[in-house]
Amino acid sequence: MGLYIKYFAMHLKSQMQYKVSFCLTALGQFLVSFSAFLGIYFMFTHFNTVEGFTFQETLLCFAVVLMAFSLAEMLGRGFDLFPRMLGNGEFDRALVRPRNVIFQVLLSQMDFSRLGRVIQAALVFVYAIPNSGVLWTWDKVVTLILMVTCGSLVFFGLFLLYAAISFFTVEGLEFMNIFTDGGREFGRYPFSVYGENILRFLTYIIPLALFQIYPLLYLLGRVTSRLYMLLPLVSLLFLVPCVLLFRLGLRRYKSTGS
Amino acid sequence: MISLKSVRKTFRVAKRQAGFSRAVKALFSREYELVRALDDISFDIRDGEMVGYIGPNGAGKSTTIKIMCGVLTPDSGSCSIDGRTPWKERIAHVREIGVVFGQRSQLWWDVPVADSFQLIRDIYKVDGASYRKTLDELTERLDLNEILKTPARSLSLGQRMRCEIAASLLHSPRTLFLDEPTIGLDAVSKIAVRQFIKKLNAERGTTVILTTHDMQDIEALTERILLIGKGKILLDGSLAELKKRSPEALDMTSEEMVAALYREFKI
């Protein structure tokens, strides 16, 4: 953890060398996700509810997914740029250092310009939390925290999966963006609006729904079972195959060197 | 003590052929070619030895270094460095080695060199007192005082290489691997780097393994040369011994002699 903070400081110091670029990128990130917000807004000027969710309820969902994604992206950017790290030989450097390899990849990049998105998500929370009609008892607060943290870890797992696959293909695989960026974009609305098959896929295969729609139903008081509150924790199981695949890829790398 | 015994390594390389139709064909069925990068490599290096590892491009130098650093796993054979197998006990092993890849940097581009050093200290968990002592020593020896506060992007190549070498030694490794440490340096920097390495080896007894194409590096530094070609060790001996192999070689410069050797072995 100490080392994490040290790296954090170094990345911050590096990026502050280019203040203008930093601010403009952060602003850009903010505007892009703001347009997503507007999309939802205009949708609701025509319809009062989407599949039984009001504007404020949907915003809560939007904020959870955006926050989870942005935190994961800010901290797990190293995986996103992993194909480059493999290509330019930086990864060999990680292998000659006495630290865990996944940890080092994670530390290799941090992108603070993504703060624009984090701020946006925070603003939406500020609006949606009091207006969503949720009675904020302690269990609801815990649920919300679980949704954001576990969601962030699941996105993190997706980034790790992306990195693991690039061991086998060298080039990064754009199709993975369907789940990462796509997860963020489609996650603006509760996943149940996309129909049963997609919901099933997002429950059992790529468990984005486990930290989104199910605990959301609990938050809104539509279900009362505590199970729904704890489903975000179940989504963490997704990290197991991600880590295993990365390990497998690492073993292959060590025997092929490319 | 480094000991390699019959190390073999084969790479599978996709055959690439010219022409559009063949490129399309390659999308569906790739033909692979097995390239023998290392073919039965064995040698021993004693503690405190300084060894030059030479050979033409693609001979297998980097592959050997990568195996000794624990980055690659060989197909067969054994490699033991201070009693450890690099790819099996990676973390314990890499604590004891320093690696300089001449073509790549381990310094942070945008922050002062001193900060990069500090971070490396934290990665290797070097305790404060011995870190300060090592850093002072390296700063003096490599003349880094003026440049420690400079970000790496503003350093000249020579200055950067001096910093790279210092960065690889902050944790006082027993063995130092240098992959083309003088590539692209001017005469003054080359001499400074050589003198430093020589002193390091003499005073600290650090084992040094050096790959280079610059024969003056070899002349200035190493007692012993390993010549590798097509994945095999072709010669193992001192520069003087190599020169004695044939009468013409006596009048040649080292560069000419090595070129003659490459021709002789057809590598």
Tens of each residue's pLDDT in chain B, 267 residues: 899 999 999 987 776 666 777 767 666 666 778 888 899 999 999 999 999 999 888 888 989 999 999 999 999 999 999 999 999 999 999 999 999 987 888 999 999 999 999 999 999 999 999 999 999 999 999 999 999 999 999 999 999 999 999 999 999 999 999 998 888 888 988 999 999 999 999 999 999 999 988 888 988 998 899 999 888 999 898 888 877 777 777 777 778 888 888 888 877
CA-based nearest distance A118→chain B, Å: 25
A18-45: pLDDT as tens digits: 888 888 888 888 888 788 788 888 878 8
pLDDT of residue B66: 92
Residue keyed to tokens 């293909």: A169
| Amino acid of residue B45 | I
CB contact under 8 A, B66 and A2: no
Residue of B nearest to A101 (CA): B91
Q: What whole-number percentage of chain A has pLDDT above 90?
A: 50
pLDDT reading at A172 higher than 80: no
Pair B149, B114: CB distance under 8 Å: yes
CA-based nearest distance B95→chain A, Å: 6
A257 touches chain B (CB under 8 A): yes
- Complex ipTM value: 0.87
Instruction: Please list every residue in chain B whose beta carbon sits closer than 8 Å to the beta carbon of residue A249.
Output: none
CA-based nearest distance B188→chain A, Å: 28
CB contact under 8 A, A256 and B12: yes
* DSSP annotation of A28: H
CB contact under 8 A, A93 and B66: no
Rounded-to-integer distance, Cα B84 and Cα B79, Å: 8
When CB atoms are compared, the residue of B63, B111, B124 closest to A13 is B111
Instruction: Please list every residue in chain B whose beta carbon sits closer than 8 Å to the beta carbon of residue A257.
Output: 11, 63, 66, 71-72
Instruction: Please list every residue in chain A whose beta carbon sits closer than 8 Å to the beta carbon of residue B72.
Output: 254-255, 257
Domain residue spans of chain B: 44-96+173-264
SS (H, E, C) A151-217: HHHHHHHHHHHHHHHHHHHCCCCHHHHHCCHHHHHHCCCCHHHHCHHHHHHHHHCCCCHHHCHHHHH
DSSP string, B137-173: HHHHHHT-TTTTTSBGGGS-HHHHHHHHHHHHHTT--
pLDDT of residue B121: 95
Residue of B nearest to A12 (CA): B111
Does the CA dihedral B157-B159-B160-B166 come out positive or negative?
Answer: positive
B96 touches chain A (CB under 8 A): no
Residue of B nearest to A108 (CA): B108
A231-256: pLDDT as tens digits: 999 999 999 999 999 999 999 888 77
When CB atoms are compared, the residue of A7, A89, A97 closest to B104 is A89
The DSSP element (H or E) to which A104 belongs, if any, is: helix A101-108
Between A and B, how many residue pairs show a Cβ–Cβ distance under 8 A? 71
B115 touches chain A (CB under 8 A): yes
When CB atoms are compared, the residue of B91, B106, B108 closest to A98 is B91
Pair B173, B96: CB distance under 8 Å: yes
Q: Under CATH, what is the fold of the domain B44-96+173-264?
A: Rossmann fold (3.40.50)
Q: What whole-number percentage of chain A has pLDDT above 70?
A: 98
Q: Which residues of A105-129 are buried (b: 16+ CB within 10 A; e: fewer)?
A: bbbbbbbbbbbbbbebbeebbeebb
Nearest to A80 by CA among A155, A186, A188: A155
Pair A64, A147: CB distance under 8 Å: yes
Rounded-to-integer distance, Cα A124 and Cα A67, Å: 10
Pair B3, B80: CB distance under 8 Å: yes
- Report, as an integer, the average pLDDT of A130-144: 92
DSSP reduced 3-state for A258 = coil
Chain A stretch 169-228, residues whose beta carbon is closer than 8 A to a beta carbon of chain B: none
A19 touches chain B (CB under 8 A): no
CB contact under 8 A, A98 and B124: yes
From the candidates B36, B107, B111, B177, which should be mutated to test the interface with A, based on the most A CB atoms within 10 A? Answer: B111
CA-based nearest distance A103→chain B, Å: 11
Nearest to B164 by CA among B152, B154, B172, B146: B152
- Report, as an integer, the average pLDDT of A143-148: 96
CB contact under 8 A, B90 and A95: yes
CB contact under 8 A, B70 and A95: yes
A66-122: pLDDT as tens digits: 999 999 988 888 888 898 888 888 899 999 999 999 999 999 988 888 888 898 899
Residue of B nearest to A257 (CA): B72
pLDDT of residue A188: 86
CA-based nearest distance B187→chain A, Å: 28
